[in-house]
Amino acid sequence: MGLTKTEEFTKAQNEMAVLAKALGHPARIAILQFLIKTKSCVCGDIVEELPLSQSTVSQHLKELKNAGLIKGDIEGPSVCYCIDEKTWSKAKAQLDKLFDSYKEPGCC
C-alpha cells in the first residue's frame, strides 16, 4: 500500500490534486512569489533567496515544472525560470471553480 489510487478518480480531480500538491510546500510558494515579483525571472538567484541548499531548490523547481506551473529556458550557462502562463491560468480557473461551487453554509 501507500500508492494513491489515481485511476479511481476523475481526470479533473487528479489534475487539480497535482496542481494543489505542487503548491503544498512553503518553499514552492516562496519560489513562485519570487518568480512573480522579479519579472526578469532571474534563475539561480532563487537559491540565494531561499534558506535551502542548491540541490533542494533544484528539486523543488523540478516539481513545479512537472506540475506545469513553471517552465525553464536555458539562457547561457544558467536557466531562466518563469511562470507557465497556460497552466497557471488553468490552475486558477480550476481552483476558482471549486471554491465558488460552495455557496450556502450547509447544515452544521
Partner DNA sequence: GCTATATATCGTAATATTACGATATAAGGT
Partner DNA sequence: ACCTTATATCGTAATATTACGATATATAGC
Of 2 and 100, which CB lies nearer to DNA in the complex structure? Answer: 2
Q: What distance in Å separates the CA atoms of residue 71 and residue 106, rounded to the nearest whole number?
A: 40
> Of residues 63-102, which lie at the interface with DNA (CB under 7 A)?
63, 72, 74, 76-79
DSSP H or E segment with residue 50: none
Q: What distance in Å separates the CA atoms of residue 65 and residue 35, rounded to the nearest whole number?
A: 13
- Check residue 52 for interaction with DNA (CB under 7 A): yes
Q: What distance in Å separates the CA atoms of residue 47 and residue 101, rounded to the nearest whole number?
A: 38
> Of residues 56-75, which lie at the interface with a second copy (CB under 8 A)?
71-73, 75
Positions that interact with DNA (CB under 7 A) = 1-5, 21, 24-25, 27, 43-44, 47, 52-56, 58-63, 72, 74, 76-79
